[in-house]
C-alpha cells in the first residue's frame, strides 16, 4: 500500500506571497495544495509544518475523505480560516495525487464535465469614469463576457478595488495602508458609473460590482435598488456577512442579485444564507473552505436552493488553487461564474499550469491530477515579503466595520 512519505511547505513571493504544500508518497507520486491566507500566510505555514505534517506521515493518500475528517475533527478546535486553509491544502494535494495515480484529470474523478469551459470575469477599474470605460473596453476586446467595474470615488484617496499597476494587487504594503472611506459619496457616485458602462457598451455582457462589505443592510438595499436598471450580474459583499439575517432586509428592497462568501471557510458559515435563499451566488473558495472535498459539499447544498457558484479568484489564490477551482467548476451542476484576475508574471516562473483563457472562459488540459507543477528552485529567487490588505477608516478616523 502506498503511504504518505514526505510533507513539504514552501513560502515564496513571486509577485505576491503564496504558501504551497507538496505531499510525496512512497510510490514517488507528488501532489500540490495551496495554503495561502492573505496577510496570515506564516500562521498557516506553521500549522502545516508543526501540527499537520506529523499526522500525515504513513497515512494512505487514497483515503481523502477519512483524512479530511481526521484533520478537522481530531483538532477539537474546529473551523476558522487558518485551520480550514491548512486542511484545504492537504485535501487538494491528495486529490492531485489521486488523479495522477488514476491517470485522469481531477474533474473526471468528480463526475466528469458538466460544461465545455468555465465562464470567468475580470476586474476593470479607473481613477475616474472615462478611464474606467476605457478599461471595460479593454477587457471586452480581450474576449471577456463578464466584467467587474469599479471606479475611484472622487476626493476619496485610495478607493479599494481600483488597479494602480499592470495587475490589480490590493495587498501591496508591508503594513496595512489606512485608507479613507465616505459612504454617502460612494452611494452617490457608484450608480452613475455603472449606468455609464451600460450606456456605452449596452447589455451584451455581464456587469458585476463589488461593494467590499462597506454598507449597512439598509444602505446596501438602497444601492441595490438604485442600480436595478443596470441589470447587474451581482452586487458582491454588500454588507458584512457575520449577521446573516441582515441579508433578508436587502432582499426585501431590491431584485439585484447578491453574491457573498469569500471570507467564509465552512458550510456552516453559509448554511443560513443558502437555505433561506438570502443570496444568489456563494463565493467560497477551494483554498479557504477546506479544499475540493468541503467546497463540493457547499456547492451541493447551494444547488438544492437555486444558489449558484461564483468562487473568489483574486491574486491571493495561487495557480494551484485556480486549477483546483476550475476542475470543480467544470463538474458541478450549479456553476455560475469564476473570478479570474490572473497572476503576476513572476508567478509563471514558479508555477506551470494547464489552465488557459479563450473566448471568455477558462479551459483545462487533460493532464492527470490538477495539471500544475511547482519549481522549487525558481521559488528560491522570490523570498517571502510581508504584504497586507488596506484598512478602511471613516472620515471621522474610526475603523470601518467591513
DSSP bridge pairs for 178: 391
- Known catalytic membership, residue 160: yes
How many whole angstroms separate alpha carbon 278 and alpha carbon 264? 15
Work out whether the CA dihedral 218, 220, 221, 227 comes out positive or negative.
positive
Exactly one of 47, 72, 160, 193 is catalytic; which is it?
Answer: 160
Residue 188's H or E segment, with its range, is helix 183-201
Q: Identify whether the C-beta of residue 251 lies closer than 8 Å to the C-beta of residue 227.
A: no
Work out whether the CA dihedral 121, 126, 129, 134 comes out positive or negative.
negative
- Known catalytic membership, residue 327: no
| Residue that the C-alpha cell 467560497 belongs to | 284
Those residues with Cβ within 8 angstroms of residue 271's Cβ, 6 or more apart along the chain or in another chain: 301
How many whole angstroms separate alpha carbon 291 and alpha carbon 198? 37
Exactly one of 212, 288, 340, 343 is catalytic; which is it?
Answer: 212
Instruction: Give residue 111's region: left, alpha or beta (phi > 0; psi -120 to 50).
Output: left
Q: Identify whether the C-beta of residue 179 lies closer than 8 Å to the C-beta of residue 391.
A: yes
Those residues with Cβ within 8 angstroms of residue 300's Cβ, 6 or more apart along the chain or in another chain: 332
Q: What single string gives the DSSP state of each residue in 25-92?
A: ETTS-EEEEE---TT-HHHHHHIIIIIIHHHHTT--TT-HHHHHHHHHHHTSS--SHHHHHHHHHHHH
Residue 253: Cβ-neighbour burial (10 angstroms; 0-12, 13-18, 19+):
middle
Catalytic residues: 160, 212
Amino acid at each position: 500500500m502506498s503511504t504518505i512519505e514526505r510533507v513539504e511547505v514552501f513560502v515564496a513571493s513571486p509577485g505576491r506571497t503564496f504558501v504551497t504544500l507538496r505531499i510525496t508518497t512512497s510510490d514517488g507520486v507528488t501532489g500540490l495544495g495551496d495554503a495561502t491566507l492573505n496577510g496570515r500566510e506564516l500562521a498557516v505555514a506553521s500549522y502545516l509544518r508543526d501540527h499537520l505534517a506529523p499526522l500525515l506521515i504513513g497515512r494512505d493518500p487514497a483515503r481523502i475523505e477519512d483524512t479530511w475528517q481526521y484533520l478537522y475533527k481530531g483538532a477539537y478546535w474546529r473551523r476558522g480560516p487558518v485551520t480550514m486553509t491548512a486542511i484545504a491544502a492537504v485535501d487538494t494535494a491528495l486529490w492531485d495525487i489521486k488523479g495522477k495515480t488514476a491517470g485522469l484529470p481531477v474533474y473526471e474523478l468528480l463526475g466528469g464535465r458538466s460544461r465545455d469551459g468555465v465562464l470567468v470575469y475580470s476586474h476593470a477599474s479607473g481613477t475616474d469614469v472615462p478611464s474606467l470605460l476605457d478599461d471595460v473596453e479593454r477587457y471586452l476586446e480581450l474576449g471577456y463576457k463578464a466584467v467587474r467595474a469599479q471606479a475611484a470615488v472622487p476626493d476619496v484617496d485610495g478607493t479599494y478595488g481600483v488597479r494602480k499597476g499592470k495587475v490589480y494587487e490590493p495587498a501591496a504594503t508591508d503594513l496595512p495602508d489606512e485608507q479613507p472611506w465616505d459612504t454617502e459619496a460612494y452611494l452617490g457616485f457608484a450608480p452613475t458609473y455603472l449606468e455609464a458602462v451600460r450606456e456605452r457598451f449596452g447589455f451584451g455582457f455581464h456587469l458585476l460590482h463589488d461593494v467590499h462589505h462597506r454598507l449597512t443592510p439598509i444602505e446596501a438595499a438602497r444601492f441595490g435598488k438604485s442600480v436595478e436598471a443596470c441589470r447587474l450580474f451581482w452586487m458582491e459583499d454588500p454588507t458584512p456577512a457575520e449577521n446573516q439575517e441582515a441579508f433578508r432586509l436587502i432582499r426585501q428592497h431590491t431584485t439585484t442579485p447578491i453574491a457573498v462568501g469569500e471570507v467564509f471557510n465552512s458550510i456552516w458559515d453559509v448554511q443560513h444564507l443558502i437555505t433561506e435563499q438570502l443570496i444568489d451566488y456563494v463565493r467560497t473558495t477551494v483554498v479557504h473552505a477546506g479544499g475540493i472535498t468541503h467546497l463540493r459539499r457547499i456547492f451541493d447544498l447551494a444547488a438544492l436552493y437555486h444558489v449558484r457558484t461564483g468562487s473568489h479568484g483574486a491574486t491571493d489564490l495561487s495557480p494551484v488553487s485556480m486549477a483546483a477551482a476550475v476542475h470543480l467548476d467544470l463538474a458541478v451542476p450549479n456553476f455560475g461564474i469564476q473570478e479570474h484576475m490572473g497572476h503576476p508574471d513572476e508567478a509563471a516562473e514558479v508555477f506551470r499550469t494547464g489552465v488557459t483563457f479563450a473566448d471568455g472562459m477558462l479551459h483545462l488540459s487533460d493532464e492527470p491530477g490538477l495539471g500544475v507543477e511547482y519549481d522549487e528552485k525558481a521559488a528560491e529567487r522570490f523570498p517571502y515579503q510581508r504584504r497586507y490588505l488596506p484598512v478602511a477608516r471613516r472620515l471621522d478616523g474610526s475603523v470601518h466595520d467591513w
